[in-house]
Amino acid sequence: MNTKLLSLNEATRTVNSGSNKVTLLDKINLQVNEGEFISLMGPSGSGKSTLLNCIGMLDEFTGGGYTFLGEPVHSMKEKNRSKLYKEYIGFVFQAYHLIDELNVWENIETPLLYKNIKSSERKALVADMLDRFNIVGKKDLFPQQLSGGQQQLVGIARALIGKPKLILADEPTGNLNSTQSTEIMELFSQLNKEGVTIIQATHSEQNAVYGSRIINLLDGKIVEE
């Protein structure tokens, strides 16, 4: 199980703040194989979220190379990138970011809509997911009616529904209490065992150890692995 999922070659991200050029990520070199569980650590502002967003194609590197499943992301058109992204990547957020207007079922279903999957198939997939996460009873509730842990569960279910190869989680337990955190982390390691690659950004040493690999960032540079 040593297939290369993605690799970063001197990947850099800069932004212009007024007349100053600020480097958020500085020449990052990183290889991620399928089935890995990576924890990104580092203080606030060290570039964890930026790295996740760039890997997740929500943001772009401004320099260097980014290869995903052998395809050069840095030189891709938006359309193809979007296709790649829809197919292989799932996101989990600290603030869950569920759609308030949609209930649990519909929230989980949404990514499938953008993949143009038929209605009958969607139903089956969502039902499976609800079953698996033991939230069948909550399928008609709206996000506001759920606890934080439950919301994050829905968030993860939603990230998983498209059967992604890679899950990117930005402080997934940041808004949760310790019991809920443990549950979520257990779930991640379960998923990882099932073959999903996971990269999480976290402040917590406790959560970081769930990963098979810990990478420390400081001022946009990898300082320790």
Partner 1 sequence: MIKNYFKIAWRSLVKNKVYSFINLSGLTIGMTCFILIAFYIQFESSFDKHIKDSDRIYRIVQQQKGNDYKGTDYFALAPLPLTTAIKQDFPEVESITNLDIWDTLIVNDNVSFSERGLFTTMSFFDVFNTPILEGDGKEALRESNTILLTESLAKKIFGEAPSIGKTVIHNKELLTVSGIVADPPKNQHFTYSFITSLKKNSPYDNDLTDWVSNNYYGYLKLGEGQDYEVLEKKISSYEDITKPAYKANGFQFYPKFSLQPLEDIHLYSQMNMEIETNGDIKYIYFFALLAIIILVLASVNYMNLATSRSAHRTKEVGVFKTLGARKQNLVFQYLSESIILTLFSFVVAFLLVVLLLPEFNKLLGKNILFNFFANGWLLVGMLFIAVLVGCLSGLYPAVFLSKINPVAALKGVSFKNHNSKSLLRNTLVVGQFIAAITLITGSIIISQQLEFIQEKKLGFNKEHIMHVSYFNEEIYNKEGVIRDALLNHPNINKVSISNQLPINVTSQGPIDVWEDNIDKQQLYVYRTYVDYEFLDLFEMNIVEGRGFSKEIASDSTDAYMLNEAALKKLGWKTAVGKKFDRGTVIGVVEDFHLQTFNLSIEPLYIRMRRERWNKNNGQIILKVKNLNKIENTIAFIEKTIKSVAPLDIVEVEFMDDTYLKLYEEEERLSKAFNLFSLLALFIAGMGLFGLVSFQVFQRTKEIGVRKVLGSTVFDIVKLVSKEFLKLILVAFIVATPMAYVLMSKWLQDYIYRIEIEWWVFACAGFIAVSIALITVILQVFKAATANPINALKTE
- At its nearest, how many Å lie between partner 1 and the CB of residue 98? 8
Which residue number, 138 or 158, has a Cβ lying nearer to partner 1?
158
Which residue number, 80 or 147, has a Cβ lying nearer to partner 1?
80
> For residue 22, what are the β-bridge partners?
15
Q: Does 56 bind partner 1 (CB under 8 A)?
A: yes
Q: How, if at all, do strands 71-72 and 63-68 pair?
A: antiparallel
- Residue partners of 52: CB distance under 8 A and separation at least 6: 40, 168, 170, 199, 201
3-state secondary structure 118-147: CHHHHHHHHHHHHHHCCCHHHCCCCHHHCC
Instruction: Please select the residue that binds partner 1; options are 115, 123, 132, 163, rule is CB under 8 A.
Output: 115
Q: Does 139 bind partner 1 (CB under 8 A)?
A: no
- At its nearest, how many Å lie between partner 1 and the CB of residue 111? 5
Instruction: Please select the residue that binds partner 1; options are 5, 8, 40, 53, rule is CB under 8 A.
Output: 53
Task: Output the CA torsion sign for 74, 3, 49, 217.
Answer: negative
Residue type, 203: H
Binding site for partner 1 (CB under 8 A): 53, 56, 58-59, 82, 85-86, 91, 93, 97-102, 106, 110-111, 113-116, 158, 162
